[in-house]
Each structure stands twice: as C-alpha cells, then as structure tokens.
Amino acid sequence: MRPLTVDLNDPNGRPYFLWDEDVSVGELRQALAEGSEHERQRLAGKLLREARDVDVWAFLTPAAVAALLPVLGRRLGRRERFWKFLIEGWRSDGLL
C-alpha cells in the first residue's frame, strides 16, 4: 500500500482519510466524477465521514454534498448531523 499523505494535490498520494484502502487522490477524483453510483456514494460517504471538513471541498462542491446527503444517510455515522446542519444553514442563508 502507498503511504498516507495530507497533500491532496498529489494525484499519486493516498489521502489520509482512506487509511483502509489503497486509492490515490487521482483515482478518488476520477471515481467521484465518473464511477458507478454505488462507488460514488461509497467514496463520498467515506470522504464526508473521515476527512476534515475543509478537505472535503478539494473533492466535492457544496451543491454536490447537498445532493448526496439524502442518499448517504448511514454511511456518514456521527458526522451526518454536522453535514445536515452545515448544508441546511447554507440553504437558509441563501448560499445554496
């Protein structure tokens, strides 16, 4: 397995939040953009659950997160409430 990295600009590095599988930053970007619906949801769930919230924006837009939230549900674990709070706040402020 590749070593973990916090450098999310390195397409060959393995992002720190994918500690349990050998997927590079470049492969993650491609899977989130072009992967099957199941794979996109699986990886987006890991991203939202395991990554620091500021690092999520390197891979997904706020609109994409808002669109995914209803289907991710249990994949987010304890972070579900945080993401719902954030997105609902942005909606009520007219940012989404």
Query: What pLDDT is recorded for position 26?
Result: 97
Structural domain range at position 67: 4-92
Query: What pLDDT is recorded for position 73?
Result: 84
Does 1 score more than 90 pLDDT? no
Residue 73 CA to chain centroid, in angstroms? 13
Q: Which residues of 2-32 are buried (b: 16+ CB within 10 A; e: fewer)?
A: eeeeeebeeeebbbbbbeeeebbbebbeebb
Query: What pLDDT is recorded for position 74?
Result: 85
Structural domain count of the chain:
1
Q: Which residue type occupies 89? A: G
Query: What pLDDT is recorded for position 10?
Result: 96
0.95 exceeded by pTM: no
Distance separating alpha carbons of residues 47 and 71, to the nearest angstrom: 14
> Are 58 and 89 contacting, i.e. CB atoms less than 8 angstroms apart?
no
pLDDT digits (tens, 9 = 90+) for 14-68: 999 999 999 999 999 999 999 999 999 999 999 999 999 999 999 999 999 999 9
C-alpha separations of 11 from 14, 30, 81 in Å: 8, 10, 30
pLDDT digits (tens, 9 = 90+) for 78-88: 999 999 999 99
Question: Residue 57 has which token pair?
Answer: 């924006």
